[in-house]
Amino acid sequence: VPISRAQTSPDYSSDVKFCKVEAIIRPWRVPHVSSGLLKMGIRGVTVSDVKGFGAQGGSTERHGGSEFSEDKFVTKVKMEIVVSKDQVDAVIDKIIEEARTGEIGDGKIFVIPVSDIIRVRTGERGDKAERMTGGRADMISSASSN
Ligand code: ATP
Ligand code: GLN
C-alpha cells in the first residue's frame, strides 16, 4: 500500500495570533543579533546554550576553537523570540542580517505557532501579555503618529 501524502501542507498556524521564532545560530553572532533586535523594539528574548549537528556536522568551527567540543556536536546558541504574527518576518530578516556569514554553520530558523501568552506578574493574556512597554508596536505607532 503506497503511503499517502498531502499535496499541500496545511496552514497549521492559521488560527493563531503569535509565533515563536526559534533561531539556532553561531554563539559569537549573538551580541549582533540581540542588539539588532533591541534597536527594532524586540525586548523579549530567551537565549540558551545548545549543541547539535547539521550540514556543518562535527567539522571544526572556524571562529574560535572553544566553539568545538570533544564530541560530534557543534556548540550553538538558541534564541527564542515570541512575537505577534505581523512581526515574524521583521524578526527573521534581522536575525539573518546579523547572524549570516555565508559559511556552512550559520544556522537555521524555525517558526512555531504559539496558542497563548500569559504574563505571570499581572495574569494578562494574549495581546496584552505579548505587548511590551516601549516595544516594537509602540515604536511603530509613535513613528506613524508623528
Ligand atoms: P513584566 O512586565 O512583569 O516584567 P515581561 O513581559 O517584561 O513581564 P519578564 O518577566 O521580564 O517579562 O520576562 C521573563 C523572561 O521571559 C525573560 O527574561 C525572557 O527570557 C522571557 N521572555 C519574555 N518575553 C519574551 C518573549 N516575547 N519572547 C521570548 N522570551 C521572552
Ligand atoms: N511584539 C511586542 C511589542 O511590540 C514585542 C515582543 C518581543 O519583544 N518579543 O511590544
Average pLDDT for 59-85: 76
Percentage of residues in the chain with pLDDT exceeding 90?
A: 74
Structure ipTM: 0.95
Residue 17 DSSP SS3? coil
Helices (H) and strands (E) in the chain, counts: 4, 4
Q: Of 83, 78, 93, 16, which is closest to residue 43 (Cα–Cα)?
A: 83
With a 6 Å cutoff on the Cβ, whether 33 touches ligand 1 is no
Q: Which atom of ligand 2 is nearest to the CA of 81?
A: 9
**In the chain, which ranges are continuous DSSP H helix?**
30-39, 88-99, 127-130, 136-144
Kindly report, residue by residue over 74-88, the tens digit of the pLDDT: 999 999 999 999 999
102/72: higher pLDDT: 102
**pTM given for the model:** 0.85
Pocket test for ligand 2, best of 19, 136, 139, 144 (most atoms within 8 A of CB): 136
Instruction: Please indicate whether residue 37, judged by its CB atom, sits closer than 6 Å to ligand 2.
Output: no
